[in-house]
Amino acid sequence: MSDLYDVTIIGGGTTGLYTAFYSGMRGLKTKVIEYQPGLGGKVSFFYPEKEIYDVGGFPGVSGDDLVAKVGEQALSVDPTIVMEEKIQAIEKLEDGSFELTSTKGAKHYSKTVIIASGLGTFDMQPLNLKGKEKYEGKQIHYTIQHLKQYAGKKTVVISDSRVGVDWALALENIASEVHIINRGSEFKSVYEHDVEKLELSSVQIHRETKVAELTGTANELKEVVLDNGLSLSIDDVLVYEGLKIEKSLYDQWGLTTEKGRIPVGSNMSTNVEGIFAAGDAAIYPHKTMLIGSGFSEAMNAVNGAKSWIDPKAKSQVYSTVIYKHS
């Protein structure tokens, strides 16, 4: 089949992207399938402005920059990228290859599968306000991606959690004005020093307050009206009010699971021959839940897939000898 891939990676986060790079480096025809409309996974959603220190070669790197670098690296080996598709079923065919079916009905065929999709798919809880649909994707955002887009703008963060506090602090020296709206009296799951930093910052904190109304034209949001009667003139609204997490379908795919994760062998193999796992999806003794760990697991998974496809192939390759396939 012309559309039969050597490796199909489920998940386009940092682990999935590095898996794609190493797979291409090993000369494997590679496809990445991502549920979200953008790449980067949880790093893009939760840590775009945070410094990350567990990745070798970077004394510190922001989530945004890390995703950009890993994405650039992955694209250098020309994988096929499929966005906004969720894999619903995986069936092993008579010839040992796999048929992957998405919720859209699309079919994907692959000799091996590497699962790099974490603990399942997630969506942000939407803002529960009438008329929000007109501004979502324009001025109402559910992730902070690309801080520079808020430069010089009046920005409101609606959140009662650590994520919202992180966003507000990241915007302080970029946006012209930052407000954070907390419907409660305290922020949830926030380190005490971050609360102190927030209170000492120029961010305007509104506790025990809710957004009552959005006002503006058909195409442009102008104001956020609070339930205490205060109106805030704004350019952008960032919303983090929790996640809608959809449990993974690993069990339905015939995979053994342990507390939602997939037990793997030393080459990241699962109980189904030809399917491997890396990143947060995988579990094994003494595993470290770090971004950097996912890169090592990605290489092991690709090497396992390569050996499964061609038992005579070298168990590994070195980037100093082969950087990318032609």
- In this prediction, residue 248 carries a pLDDT of 83
Q: Domain spanning 4-122+244-309 has what CATH number? A: 3.50.50.60
d(CA 33, CA 222) in angstroms, rounded, equals 37
CA distance between the termini of the chain? 21
pTM for this structure?
Answer: 0.77
Task: Say whether domain 126-241 belongs to CATH 3.50.50.60.
Answer: yes
Q: Given the structure tokens 């109980």, which residue do they identify?
A: 271
> Is 247 annotated to bind ligand?
no
- In this prediction, residue 199 carries a pLDDT of 95
Closest CA to 110 of 189, 23, 214, 198: 23
> Is 320 annotated to bind ligand?
yes
> Is 34 annotated to bind ligand?
yes
For the segment 70-88, what is each residue's pLDDT rounded down to a tens digit?
Answer: 999 999 999 999 999 999 9
- In this prediction, residue 324 carries a pLDDT of 47
Q: Given the structure tokens 């809880």, which residue do they identify?
A: 125
- In this prediction, residue 144 carries a pLDDT of 82
> Is 92 annotated to bind ligand?
no
> Is 280 annotated to bind ligand?
yes
- In this prediction, residue 77 carries a pLDDT of 95
- In this prediction, residue 322 carries a pLDDT of 53
- In this prediction, residue 323 carries a pLDDT of 53
Query: Which residue ranges make up each domain of the chain?
Result: 4-122+244-309, 126-241
> Is 122 annotated to bind ligand?
yes
Per-position DSSP letters for 31-59, written without gaps between them: EEE-SSSSSBHHHHHH-TTSEE--STT-S
Q: Do domains 4-122+244-309 and 126-241 have the same CATH topology?
A: yes
Ranges in the chain, pLDDT < 50: 324-326
- In this prediction, residue 54 carries a pLDDT of 83
Angle, helices 14-25 vs 291-309, to 10°: value is 40
